[in-house]
Structure 1
Amino acid sequence: MTWIIQMRDLLRVNKPVEIDAQLELKDASKMRQEILQVSPLQVKLQASGSQGIATVEGEGAAELEVQCSRCLDTYKSELRFPILERFRQPTSESEASEEDEDIHELESDQIDLRPYVEEAFWLALPFVYVCREDCQGLCQVCGTNRNERDCGCSQDRIDPRLAALQDFFKE
């Protein structure tokens, strides 16, 4: 499947173009170390044109195998993300209105959608992956996964630089 559409054809035809395809991401695990594996992105887009502007909108989805940021367990997560991009041919006007800031100016008649789909994927990723809301993580003293068992280590660690203040509020 080619990810390139022709701007001229899109503006000339009053019928939207449907795109339903897969996109293979390469080196996703090199970009984010907690991502172990990514299935091909399932992408459904609709491209239409009017008044010199091409609009591409739709949704992408992928299944990821990730590592929890707290306990380091591996789990599967599904990611769904919206895609909305607008394009136009370069205009002679040097000033662009604020409304036009989100419109990409094309250098040619072709629109390569691949980088825009990839960007939408990367921007939709959460900052950290947590296997579940109440994940206890690893014990900072012994390294035991506290979701599986209680290690009995004291979690009250006092910074030695502040140890003199520990009795400050006691009467």
Structure 2
Amino acid sequence: MTSRMLCTDCFETSHPQTLLAGSDRIEMVAWLCFALPGWLYCWWRHMLRIKVCGVCGGSSLLREARAAAANDPNANRAQPAPVVCNLHGPVRWPRPFATPRERLHAGSLGAIASIAALLAGLLAAADVAGLLIPVICLTFSALLGTAWWVRSLNLWLRSRARLSSCRAWAADGREIPIESV
């Protein structure tokens, strides 16, 4: 069952009506012309489905609860100030590595790419045809391994760093609290 909605055109509260674009007859003909045209037409029709006001037919509707909340005087109360200095809270990871699964995935991808480049270099070195390909693969492997090691060390140091206080000062000498990541 749909909730009651407020129309902003006529300011009436009623249950909305669903309006489908297209025609039922065209949909039936499309289904008779095999499944794909019928499915595509049905999908297109239901993607364009909109809710309209049951009284005036307008399409600008608000849920009744949201309209009542707009008139609630407690809804516009002041929000608390954000905390800008996090010294003893949870460890903050960079956005791409927010969850442990993402950190594990990114670390293992770097290690796998480095090992794959190392193995490709060793296999190319076994084939004595030329030295350019093994040198490129081994250099690429060393660069990937070094980048992965530096990234892991950086994340480990960031997670272990606990500053005693925020270290930023304004022009007049007073301390400014900053967020430590």
Tell me which protein shows more strand as a share of its residues.
1
Tell me which protein shows more helix as a share of its residues.
2
TM-score w.r.t. the length of structure 2 is: 0.20
Q: Larger radius of gyration, structure 1 or 2?
A: 2
